[in-house]
């Protein structure tokens, strides 16, 4: 399916997919090697699906059913009822093999091994109820079912990969009481995961609904508004923990859990560590620093609506006291639970120190914020600060020469994972408002001498408000389009206002109508009068009155007031409350001394052209493939390798940072790694390790219980036959 088509995909498909999961007791699995066909008897008895054997086709794992309009030979049927059954079957068998044998998503046992998956070719029947574009699920708690239209099943079909993903998701819990993501809060994860699974099978075909996602990163993680685009957290988990972790999340889920709770339970981490990881993931989105970056970037560079997305720069930052470097995020664009903001900062000087003090409005009921800084070279090579988690903290981040941009990334990280329903919407989700002061940099657009660059992507800046307007759209001079709002298509006339991150993708907005927050107006909409559309609402109908602040297709145009907001108002902080140096700082201003430089390095093996002395020479890597500075590598040796720091007398440490070497030519990121220390008689794993991230182009930080030792060892397990290496290791003493 094309990228633009997916951007405009109706929510009805997602709802149909989830609604198609009928949970019922399953029969005992068969032992026969050849799969049987299970088709509910009522389908023919009631005419629900009036199939016939001469309008079907079987393969090893599927049975294909089609309707009367395609006849017995659909290859020669008239348009639009023509399709090739062999093409559909071949695609599905290839995808089946990928999900079962390559991805190993779920074992081929039980019901999956017993019955062939049913595939109904829609839009070929006399019954209009069988006209869905593409859905996937199960029936009778027994067998998987795909509904697919001929146009969605053409060669290279994304729809088949996505919907078969849904079928396999069902098989993770069919016949297993108490298992599976059936909680309402997991609805979005079904779609997210189906997109992610399709991306594993067809990595160069599509990358989900990126436009909606990039305009709604601030919404809560389970929001239905970006369920086709928020797969990047799953990609982060794959990069960090391996693809098998994604499979485990699905296969080991409990019915009462949100997916993040499942991940937390399986990995054995605390809520604090979960929040840190989600905050870390958010920082990776600045440059799309993920393992699939090479296949993702063509979609990012050609994303639908690139002109207004590139003008975004992270949301509506507002000056509270610009002379003191005091700013806030517009409260209506503040992140909800596990949503985030990315704010572009312009450094005051090359190689200078950037300091950010951030304080959250905990009095509103929001319970935690995680933030970090990301410096970039040429807009693509990232370097990450340490993260701060809490309600009030400061990060000091010295820039390196050549780092031209810095991004402040702020994530709403609650003390417990919330259970929002699939369509709970904007006003029912907690927002995490915050303010910050910054020294050594300025939010983009507020720096001295700022001149707004020319609009790109076939658009221009609207004179009244400064927002992005497509040259093909019709926007009257009297209409207001705010600085972060966009009109991609359609017309905006009269005194209408497009505010916040409001986005008009078609239709007409006139009179005194207001579009604000994260609202999206689609083709077919005709908004007039005094209507207000905000929150995460999407409109494609005619309406002239009322306030609509949530996506709710059932509400229609009833003229009523807006949905109640759980988020209270608040008063801005005094600038003195955010004084630089007045709160906890990360890294702390005292203590936490890096003692690695005083140690003697050694290793299990070192390539003749590399140097183990590189691991503590104090030279900051420019990237994981730093070809300028010294490196330690083990090529051609693979398997388990180690590098070690030895001190002349015992040192006390509780935090270690490791910068991994990856040249893409035989030395790759390890599949896993850990820290060990010398107890005086043997090596032991460091106690209380916070986790072992495996990230490129950044320090991988591990906090652990304070230890006293003369030796610290980094043990790396190679990926397959690849070798491993390190660029730098830092070992820090506790804060004094």
Q: Which residues pair with 317 in a beta bridge?
A: 329
Scan for tokens 């809490």, then name that residue.
Answer: 390
pLDDT band at 148 (very low <50, low <70, confident <90, very high): very high
Mean pLDDT of 369-386: 91
Give the three-class secondary structure for 645: strand
Q: What is the rounded end-to-end Cα distance, in angstroms, of the chain? A: 58
pLDDT band at 27 (very low <50, low <70, confident <90, very high): very low
CA distance 444 to 313: 8
CA distance 615 to 630: 8
Which range is least confidently modeled, 28-37, 384-393, 601-610? 28-37
CA pseudo-torsion sign 729, 733, 734, 736? negative
Which range is least confidently modeled, 303-317, 462-476, 620-634? 303-317
Burial class (CB in 10 A: 0-12, 13-18, 19+), 371: buried
Q: Is 135's pLDDT higher than 50?
A: yes
What pLDDT is attached to residue 11?
32
Question: In the numeric block, which tokens belong to residue 616?
Answer: 């503590």
Fold equal for 293-443 and 596-732: yes
What pLDDT is attached to residue 95?
98
Q: What is the pLDDT of residues 484-541, one digit of tens each?
A: 999 999 999 999 999 999 999 999 999 999 999 999 999 999 999 999 999 999 999 9
Fold of 596-732: Jelly Rolls (2.60.120)
Domain boundaries, the chain: 1-177, 293-443, 596-732
Mean pLDDT of 224-229: 91
Residue count of the chain, please give it: 736
The CATH superfamily assigned to 293-443 is Mitogen Ypm (2.60.120.510)
What pLDDT is attached to residue 587?
66
Q: Is 19's pLDDT higher than 70?
A: no
Question: In the numeric block, which tokens belong to residue 167?
Answer: 């079928």
What pLDDT is attached to residue 312?
66
Question: In the numeric block, which tokens belong to residue 299?
Answer: 């979609």
CA distance 167 to 170: 5
Q: Is 662's pLDDT higher than 90?
A: yes
The answer to whether 125 and 197 have CB atoms below 8 angstroms apart is no
Task: Lay out the sheet containing 497-498: strands in order across.
Answer: 480-481, 497-498, 514-515, 532-533, 547-548
Give the three-class secondary structure for 231: coil
pLDDT exceeding 70 applies to what percent of the chain?
A: 94
15, 17, 23, 28: CA torsion to nearest 10: 180
Q: Is 733's pLDDT higher than 90?
A: no
pLDDT band at 40 (very low <50, low <70, confident <90, very high): very high
Q: Is 14's pLDDT higher than 50?
A: no
The answer to whether 387 and 340 have CB atoms below 8 angstroms apart is no
What pLDDT is attached to residue 402?
86
Helices 243-251 and 259-267, packing angle to 10 deg: 110
Mean pLDDT of 387-411: 93
* Arithmetic mean of pLDDT over the chain: 91
Q: Is 286's pLDDT higher than 90?
A: yes
Burial class (CB in 10 A: 0-12, 13-18, 19+), 247: buried
């Amino acid at each position: 399916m094309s990228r633009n088509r997916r951007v405009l995909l109706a929510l009805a498909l997602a709802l149909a997919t989830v609604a198609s999961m009928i949970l019922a007791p399953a029969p005992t699995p068969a032992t026969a090697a050849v799969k049987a066909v299970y088709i509910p008897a009522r389908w023919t008895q009631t005419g629900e699906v009036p199939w016939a054997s001469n309008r079907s086709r079987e393969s090893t794992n599927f049975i294909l059913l089609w309707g009367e309009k395609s006849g017995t030979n659909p290859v020669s049927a008239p348009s639009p009822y023509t399709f090739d059954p062999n093409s559909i079957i071949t695609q599905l068998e290839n995808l089946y093999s990928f999900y079962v044998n390559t991805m190993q998503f779920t074992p081929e046992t039980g019901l999956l091994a017993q019955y062939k998956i049913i595939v109904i070719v829609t839009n070929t029947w006399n019954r209009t109820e069988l006209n869905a574009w593409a859905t996937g699920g199960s029936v009778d708690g027994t067998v998987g079912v795909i509904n697919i239209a001929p146009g969605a099943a053409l060669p290279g079909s994304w729809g088949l990969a996505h919907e078969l993903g849904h079928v396999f998701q069902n098989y993770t819990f069919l016949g297993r009481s108490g298992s599976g993501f059936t909680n309402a809060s997991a609805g979005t994860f079904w779609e997210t995961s189906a997109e992610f699974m399709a991306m594993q099978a067809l990595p160069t075909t599509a990358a989900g609904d990126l436009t909606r996602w990039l305009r709604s990163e601030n919404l809560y993680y389970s929001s239905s508004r970006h369920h086709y685009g928020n797969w990047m957290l799953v990609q982060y988990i794959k990069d960090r923990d391996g693809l098998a972790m994604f499979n485990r999340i699905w296969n080991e889920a409990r019915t009462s859990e949100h997916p993040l709770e499942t991940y937390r339970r399986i990995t054995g981490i605390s809520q604090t560590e979960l929040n840190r990881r989600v905050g870390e993931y958010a920082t990776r989105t600045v440059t799309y620093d993920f393992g699939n970056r090479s296949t993702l970037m063509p979609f990012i560079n050609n994303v639908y609506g690139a002109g207004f997305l590139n003008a975004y720069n992270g949301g509506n930052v507002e000056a509270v006291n610009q002379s003191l470097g005091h700013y806030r995020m517009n409260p209506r664009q503040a992140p909800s639970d596990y949503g985030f903001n990315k704010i572009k900062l312009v450094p005051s000087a090359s190689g200078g120190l950037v300091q950010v003090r951030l304080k959250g409005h905990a009095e509103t009921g929001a319970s935690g914020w995680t933030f970090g800084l990301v410096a970039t070279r040429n807009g693509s090579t990232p370097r990450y600060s340490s993260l701060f988690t809490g309600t009030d903290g400061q990060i000091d981040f010295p820039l390196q020469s050549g780092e031209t941009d810095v991004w402040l990334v702020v994530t709403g990280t609650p003390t417990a994972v919330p259970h929002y329903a699939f369509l709970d919407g904007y006003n029912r989700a907690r927002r995490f408002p915050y303010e910050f002061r910054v020294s050594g940099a300025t939010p983009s657009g507020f720096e001295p001498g700022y001149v707004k660059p020319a609009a790109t992507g076939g658009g221009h800046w609207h004179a009244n408000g400064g927002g992005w307007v497509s040259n093909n759209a019709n926007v009257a001079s009297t209409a207001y389009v705010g600085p972060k709002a966009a009109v991609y298509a359609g017309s905006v006339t009269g005194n209408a206002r497009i505010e916040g991150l409001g986005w008009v993708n078609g239709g007409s907005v006139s009179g005194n109508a207001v579009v604000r927050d994260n609202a999206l107006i689609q083709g077919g909409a005709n908004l007039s009068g005094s209507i207000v559309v905000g929150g995460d609402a999407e409109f494609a109908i005619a309406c002239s009155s009322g306030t609509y602040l949530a996506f709710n297709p059932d509400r229609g145009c009833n003229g009523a007031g807006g949905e109640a907001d759980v988020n209270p108002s608040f008063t801005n902080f005094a600038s003195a409350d955010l004084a630089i140096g007045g709160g906890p700082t990360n890294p702390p201003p005292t203590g936490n001394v890096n003692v690695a430089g005083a140690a003697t390095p050694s290793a299990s093996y070192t390539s003749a052209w590399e140097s183990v002395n590189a691991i503590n020479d104090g030279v900051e890597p420019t990237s994981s493939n730093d070809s300028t500075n010294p490196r330690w590598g083990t090529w051609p040796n693979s398997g388990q390798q180690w590098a070690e720091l030895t001190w002349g007398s015992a040192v006390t440490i509780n935090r270690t940072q490791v910068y991994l070497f990856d040249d893409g030519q035989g030395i790759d990121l390890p599949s896993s790694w850990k820290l060990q220390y010398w107890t005086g008689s043997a090596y032991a794993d460091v106690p209380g390790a916070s986790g072992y991230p495996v990230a490129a182009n950044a320090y991988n930080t591990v906090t652990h219980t304070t230890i006293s030792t003369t030796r610290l060892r980094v043990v790396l397990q190679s990926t397959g036959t690849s070798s491993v290496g390190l660029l730098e290791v830092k070992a820090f003493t506790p804060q004094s």
